[in-house]
Structure 1
């Protein structure tokens, strides 16, 4: 992991990093991070590691809860160039929107590919983050993400035992995500924008039903695509604080 820039503002230290082709950001409290839980944040499709939704959570999580937060660009997003296949999917999405045709099948195919590629990248990033002395192998870890970030997080959480609490929302559901949810047993929150004009609420309900966690909660709220009210950000922060503060992690 190579840190390329560092800034500090309003009590938050922000450090850009690269890890091979992966580009990311690590945010931490200027007052210190010893023992702070680490939250991994997955961005939405078409967004990037500094998307407004992520930044709003970062400031709250770091300044109010004392968490450390990390986000990386998904393949072909942010500072990472798209490959030829990604360009074809993006062109198909644009054409479908102009023609007024359904975009769901294209989004599922595209997001499925992105999420599968992002899972090993997140695992490599987590390895590198835990190697940092200020984080360490025993740090409790959570994951949060919406839409593409949720698809990635479901696949990641289903195979990554280091993640001990997760929050997902607004995801277009396909069978691989249902299968992933069936393997998840950690505490989970599902967010459902009830008036989402892009992703129907039925998918969130199906994921909630499929999730094998004994402790899980479904939060439905009035709102359209990408509209997450501030109180849900606060609720997710309290969810992570509750579960990660009591997590016991055995290094190695």
Structure 2
């Protein structure tokens, strides 16, 4: 059905924020307040334990809207944000916390759980793109990007592998298990983030996922630091990456100062 229902709308700082539901799934769409025509779209996917309006999602959206004139949309992932947790969600979260408390590797649990979530989230993202392209300010002819790190990569890699409408994507910080075969089917330009001192994802695993992408253009961005220490300047790089591959929308000229 792919019914998109706007449930709330507000405007601040030149950005229109619209809360919506897609067949009951909560999401948010950020758009330029004053646009002169259809503009590119970037779909984001948030990290594990976060939600559609997490500061990372909202901050990246602001950069894309102000810097490029894009529309940016995010769905709450299954079991996250305003979506209820299932018994399976609770079991996997408990297993993760138990492994963390015991000092055991978290990777096998996270990979398994994220793969489970992606099986639901990927069809939802196809439906989201279908619905958003029906909006006149987005349309069906413009380029579409995808930006997802951590769990966002677990959702994004199988989604982009199966979605020919995606023009370019930013991924990173995930294990290759369950994703490498999907990555081999991706040929669009890729920017990939990896933390050299990640305490959860080994360098070998991070490099293995990057290597799996079949893209002729793919850039590996390696920074020192642990899993949660991805530098903020990588957001600047991602915005430039999307601008190169999606173009920029026509924005109204600023009002001259009095």
Bin of the TM-score, shorter chain as denominator length: over 0.9
User: Mapping of 1:9-158 within 5 angstroms?
Assistant: 9-32=12-35, 34-158=37-161
What is residue 249 of structure 1 aligned with on the other side?
none
* CA 54–223 in structure 1, closer or farther in 2 if over 3 Å, else same: farther
The 8 Å contact of residues 186 and 215 in structure 2, kept in 1 or not, is answered as yes
Residue 207 in structure 1 maps to residue 209 in structure 2: yes
The equivalences for 1:178-217 within 5 A come to 178-217=180-219
Structure of higher CA gyration radius: 2
TM-score by length of 1: 0.93
The alignment partner of 1:135 has SS state of: coil
Structure 2 segments unaligned to the other structure (5+ residues): 249-258
* Structure 1: distance between partners of 2:241 and 2:140: 22
Please state how far the C-alpha of 1:139 moved relative to its aligned partner: 1.8
The CA distance in 2 between the partners of 1:33 and 1:5, in whole Å, is 23
TM-score by length of structure 2 reads 0.91
Contact 2:186 2:214 in 1 (8 A): yes
1:243 to 242, 245, 248: 245
Following TM superposition, the consecutive aligned residue runs of length 4 or more in structure 1 with deviations greater than 3 angstroms are: none
Q: Of the two structures, which has the highest relative contact order with CA contacts closer than 8 Å and spacing of 6 or more?
A: 2
Indicate conservation of the 8 Å contact 2:105/2:200, yes or no. Answer: no
**Residues 172 and 199 of structure 1 are in contact (CA less than 8 Å); yes or no, is this contact kept in structure 2?**
yes
Alignment gaps of 5+ in structure 1: 247-252
C-alpha distance in structure 2 between counterparts of 1:123 and 1:9, whole Å: 29
Cα offset for 1:125?
0.7
Q: Distance in 1 between matches of 2:33 and 2:225?
A: 34
Q: Does 1:4 align with 2:21?
A: no
Q: Give the number of aligned pairs.
A: 245
Deviation at 1:180, TM superposition (A): 0.7
